[in-house]
């Protein structure tokens, strides 16, 4: 008797038995969440009665918003003055705030 036969006999020939696995019905996978497109991630600027609205994004400053909206960052005080009811200081804006961007 060889070594493999001795092992099979010692363990009751379990190597040749098929394992018994409990199989449960497969659960359906949830629908995948669509990835946000670049349009979804872009800051929002909407036209409203001669002015625009802009939703502040993380990392924004009034200077940067002014540069994007007017092409001149130094005009940031126009945005601040149009939003004095919302903003206490031109240095403190927060993501999610909706600012009015006035026409120049």
User: Domain limits of the chain?
Assistant: 43-101
Structure tokens at 19: 């394992």
Give residue for tokens 């669509």: 34
**CA 67, CA 47: separation in Å to the nearest integer?**
18
The pLDDT confidence band at residue 5, using thresholds 50, 70 and 90, is: confident
Q: Is the pTM of this model over 0.75?
A: no
Q: What is the CATH number of domain 43-101?
A: 3.10.350.10
Return the pLDDT at 51: 80
Q: pLDDT by residue (tens digit) across 15-56?
A: 555 556 555 566 666 666 666 554 555 555 555 566 899 999
> What are the residue ranges of helices labelled H in the chain?
3-10, 38-41, 62-70, 76-82
């Amino acid at each position: 008797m060889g070594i493999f036969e001795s092992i099979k006999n010692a363990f009751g020939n379990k190597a040749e038995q098929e394992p018994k696995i409990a199989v449960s019905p497969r659960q359906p996978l949830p629908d995948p969440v669509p990835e946000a497109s670049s349009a979804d991630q872009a800051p929002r600027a909407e036209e409203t009665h001669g002015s625009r609205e802009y939703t502040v994004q993380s990392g924004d400053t009034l200077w940067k918003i002014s540069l994007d909206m007017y092409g001149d960052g130094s005009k940031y005080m126009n945005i601040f003055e149009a939003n004095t009811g919302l903003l206490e200081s031109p240095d403190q804006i927060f993501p999610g705030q909706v600012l009015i961007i006035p026409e120049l």
